[in-house]
């Protein structure tokens, strides 16, 4: 099957083949004719399977073969949940439409509104926007949506959930009654699907794979590890396994800042991206990460949806999301367009409910792998020893609005009201890290500086490293001092624990074997029993 055979004109097919696409993906093969027929559509297909072109190409086709009712009028409106996704979608519109006489622009918050006003004045056929900034334009009467022929909700289930639904309803009220509605996502919960059905007019429904399934191209694993050990385990894995491009998801903005700072201090260049960062910092962090100049991007769910990072090899859930669909989207940043990838979830026992919700959604049990055995540095700062919040059901925590016009959290439907209150106070708690000596830890004091700026790098972190470059061999001045051998939960390995240690090392070694020795999961060389004995004795002396 070819793109031309789906009813697309030569200029569109030419642009698509210049992009390197020869065969439509299954969602494109089904969605393109359905959109061209003019009806409403609810389309679901796994992450990274080409949904963007699935709606963009037929929109371009429809608009290029009919004329606007009024010159310069907005004819298609694409809404996305995040600024970065809006920018990405509009880039695709421009690329696929480069041989057509259609104009597109993107508008989102966090940047000056004036250039957007000027661009809207000049006339535009396809507008890609985040809802918050779009409503700002509505309020200032700088946008006219009365001629919109096609509305597209990308990441539709997110757009219709409690974070966005009020804004979406305001936008819908401004659109002509007669229009084509297109809803695309990799996930649709039953309640969102029912809501979507109510908004659509006799929609066709396309489901390429079973709803809410994760892509087969991602190898998913779970490591059961205590919250306070997670950052050490993560740093160890990144160094030992020489992971380069790693996207790490945390539950809160503060947690993202803190982890990015800790990793950077430990010699792993990292930046955080979340809703409290300036747009400049967000754009820069994502660009550096996409281009391969940045080793680790620590993100909240702001980066979970839609972002297309070419051949991203690793996604890590530092904490599990409390909305199981978000798991599907997070891990879907890897394993895209036919490439394979790995997703590792670090799960504290307090998160076991989230894990079972996720496994229920994706209808499979995720394989558990052993925690690596290694020397964990002793740290006075136990600010991340706090376990994650106990599961409280659905509803996003600690994120507030997806792309708000203000820092105020969105209002939520009744059922979720209590959860959001809980989430805010939990975020506030997390904003006050504790330290044994009662002083604010460095991370907290630096937070202001780190926010919106490049996270401070350690003296010899220098430029981002390529895989294999100086990760193990170079001694670093900021490397943690040799420490007593500890278990993954931070407790000292005692003399009597040696058999236990050996037993816990065994599954790790097995896991490494299973993984074709990618692992590096074992401890130091030499005689492990003697080493454990000596270290244990040392530590006990110190304690005494
Ligand atoms: N027909 C095609 N042939 C080859 N590559 C394609 C084709 N269509 C899309 N792609 C590529 O596949 C990747 C994923 O596409 P896209 O971002 O549209 O996925 P998606 O289904 O919207 O994912 P998500 O659910 O995460 O938003 C992109 O890099 C895109 O360029």
Residue 143 predicted with pLDDT over 50: yes
Residue nearest ligand 1's atom 13 by CA = 337
Q: Ligand 1 within 6 A of 354 CB?
A: no
What is the 47 CA–ligand 1 centroid distance (Å)? 8
Residue nearest ligand 1's atom 23 by CA = 48
Block residue for tokens 């890590």: 316
Q: At what angle do helices 26-36 and 51-64 cross, to 10 degrees?
A: 30
Higher pLDDT, 106 or 441: 106
Percent of the chain residues topping a pLDDT of 70 = 69
Residue 334 predicted with pLDDT over 90: yes
- The count of other CB atoms within 10 Å of the CB of residue 75 is 23
Ligand 1 atom nearest 25 alpha carbon: 1
Average pLDDT estimate for 236-248: 96
* pLDDT, position 430: 28
Residue 9 predicted with pLDDT over 50: yes
Higher pLDDT, 268 or 423: 268
What is the 49 CA–ligand 1 centroid distance (Å)? 5
* pLDDT tens for each residue of 410-456: 333 322 222 323 332 322 222 222 222 223 233 222 222 222 222 32
What is the 53 CA–ligand 1 centroid distance (Å)? 7
Residue 461 predicted with pLDDT over 70: no
Q: Ligand 1 within 6 A of 444 CB?
A: no
Average pLDDT estimate for 71-94: 97
* pLDDT, position 490: 36
* pLDDT, position 199: 87
Rounded Cα gap, residues 243 and 263, in angstroms: 13
Higher pLDDT, 385 or 250: 250
Residue nearest ligand 1's atom 12 by CA = 337
* pLDDT, position 210: 79
Residue 477 predicted with pLDDT over 70: no
* pLDDT, position 198: 84
* pLDDT, position 209: 83
- Give the Å distances, CA to CA, from 280 to 84, 289, 353: 11, 14, 37
CB 325 within 8 A of CB 185: no
* pLDDT, position 458: 29
Ligand 1 atom nearest 24 alpha carbon: 1
What is the 492 CA–ligand 1 centroid distance (Å)? 48
Q: Ligand 1 within 6 A of 48 CB?
A: yes
pLDDT bucket at 81, cuts 50 / 70 / 90 = very high
Q: Which residues of 418-445 are buried (b: 16+ CB within 10 A; e: fewer)?
A: ebbebbeebbeebeebbbeeeeebbbbe
Residue 371 predicted with pLDDT over 90: yes
- The count of other CB atoms within 10 Å of the CB of residue 323 is 26
Query: What value does the mean pLDDT of the chain take?
Result: 77
Per DSSP, the residues of 320-371 read --SSHHHHHHHHTTSS-TT--EEEEEEE-GGGHHHHHHHHHHHTSPPPEEPP
Q: Ligand 1 within 6 A of 25 CB?
A: yes
Q: Ligand 1 within 6 A of 53 CB?
A: yes
Average pLDDT estimate for 283-310: 97
* pLDDT, position 504: 30
What is the 356 CA–ligand 1 centroid distance (Å)? 29
* pLDDT, position 377: 74
Average pLDDT estimate for 215-228: 95
Average pLDDT estimate for 249-264: 98
Q: What residues have CB less than 8 Å from 98, skipping those under 6 apart?
A: 15
* pLDDT, position 403: 54
* pLDDT, position 446: 25
* pLDDT tens for each residue of 337-350: 999 999 999 999 99
Residue nearest ligand 1's atom 2 by CA = 21
Q: Ligand 1 within 6 A of 306 CB?
A: yes
Q: Ligand 1 within 6 A of 335 CB?
A: no
What is the 325 CA–ligand 1 centroid distance (Å)? 19
Q: Which class for 71: exposed (0-12), middle (13-18), buried (19 or more C-beta within 10 A)?
A: exposed
* pLDDT tens for each residue of 167-198: 999 999 999 999 999 999 999 988 888 888 88
Residue nearest ligand 1's atom 4 by CA = 21
41: helix, strand or coil: strand
Ligand 1 atom nearest 88 alpha carbon: 17
* pLDDT, position 194: 87
Average pLDDT estimate for 489-494: 34
Residue nearest ligand 1's atom 27 by CA = 306
Ligand 1 atom nearest 3 alpha carbon: 1
* pLDDT, position 379: 61
Instruction: Report the half-sphere exposure of 411 (CA within 13 A, side-chain side).
Output: 5
* pLDDT, position 475: 28
Q: What angle do CA 29, 31, 37 make, to 5 degrees?
A: 115
CB 447 within 8 A of CB 257: yes
* pLDDT, position 191: 85
* pLDDT, position 395: 54
The number of angstroms, rounded, from the C-alpha of 244 to the middle of its chain's C-alpha atoms is: 17
pTM: 0.75
Ligand 1 atom nearest 186 alpha carbon: 25
Residue 144 predicted with pLDDT over 80: yes
Residue 467 predicted with pLDDT over 60: no
Percent of the chain residues topping a pLDDT of 90 = 63
Instruction: Report the half-sphere exposure of 90 (CA within 13 A, side-chain side).
Output: 23
User: Which is it for strands 296-299 and 204-207: parallel, antiparallel or unpaired?
Assistant: unpaired
């Amino acid at each position: 099957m070819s793109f031309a055979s789906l009813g697309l004109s030569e200029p569109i097919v030419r642009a698509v083949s210049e992009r390197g696409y020869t065969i439509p993906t299954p969602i494109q093969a089904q969605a393109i004719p359905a959109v061209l027929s003019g009806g409403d559509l609810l389309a679901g297909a796994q992450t990274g399977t080409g949904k963007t072109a699935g709606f963009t190409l037929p929109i371009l086709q429809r608009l290029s073969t009919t004329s606007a009712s009024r010159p310069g009028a907005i004819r298609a409106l694409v809404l996305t949940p995040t600024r970065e996704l809006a920018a990405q979608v509009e880039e695709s519109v421009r690329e696929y439409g480069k041989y057509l006489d259609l104009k597109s622009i993107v508008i989102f918050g966090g940047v000056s509104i004036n250039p957007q006003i000027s661009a809207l004045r000049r006339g535009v056929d396809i507008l890609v926007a985040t809802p918050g900034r779009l409503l700002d334009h509505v309020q200032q009467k700088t946008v006219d949506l009365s001629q919109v022929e096609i509305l597209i909700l990308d990441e539709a289930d997110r757009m219709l959930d409690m974070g966005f639904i009020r804004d979406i309803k305001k936008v819908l009220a401004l659109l002509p009654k007669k229009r084509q509605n297109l809803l695309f996502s990799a996930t649709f919960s039953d309640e969102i699907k029912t809501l979507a059905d109510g908004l659509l007019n006799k929609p066709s429904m396309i489901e390429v794979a079973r709803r809410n399934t994760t892509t087969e191209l991602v190898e998913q694993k779970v490591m059961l590890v205590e919250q306070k050990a997670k950052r050490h385990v993560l740093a160890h894995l990144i160094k030992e396994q020489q992971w380069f491009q790693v996207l790490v998801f945390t539950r809160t903005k503060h947690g993202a800042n803190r982890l990015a700072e800790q990793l950077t201090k430990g010699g792993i260049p990292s930046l955080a991206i979340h809703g409290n960062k300036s747009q400049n910092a967000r754009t820069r962090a994502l660009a550096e990460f996409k281009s391969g100049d940045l080793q680790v991007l620590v993100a909240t769910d702001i980066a979970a949806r839609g972002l297309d990072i070419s051949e991203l090899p690793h996604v890590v859930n530092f904490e599990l999301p409390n909305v199981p669909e978000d798991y599907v989207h997070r891990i879907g940043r890897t394993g895209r367009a036919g490439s394979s990838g790995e997703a590792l979830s670090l799960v504290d026992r307090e998160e076991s409910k989230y894990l079972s919700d996720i496994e229920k959604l994706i209808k499979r049990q995720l394989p558990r792998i052993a925690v690596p055995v290694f020397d964990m540095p002793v740290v006075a700062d136990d600010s991340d020893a706090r376990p994650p919040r106990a599961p409280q059901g659905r509803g996003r925590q600690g994120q507030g609005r997806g792309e708000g016009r203000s820092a105020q959290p969105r209002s939520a439907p009744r059922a979720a009201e209590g959860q959001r209150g809980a989430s805010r106070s939990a975020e506030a708690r997390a904003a006050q890290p504790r330290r044994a000596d009662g002083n604010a830890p460095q991370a907290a004091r630096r937070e202001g500086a780190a926010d919106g700026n490049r996270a401070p790098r350690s003296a010899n972190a220098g430029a981002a490293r390529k895989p294999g470059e100086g990760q193990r061999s170079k001694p670093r001045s900021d490397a943690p001092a040799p420490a007593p051998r500890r278990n993954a939960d931070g407790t000292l390995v005692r003399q009597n624990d040696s058999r236990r240690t050996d037993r816990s090392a065994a599954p790790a070694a097995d896991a490494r074997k299973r993984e074709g020795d990618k692992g590096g999961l074992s401890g130091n060389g030499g005689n492990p029993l003697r080493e454990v004995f000596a270290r244990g004795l040392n530590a006990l002396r110190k304690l005494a």
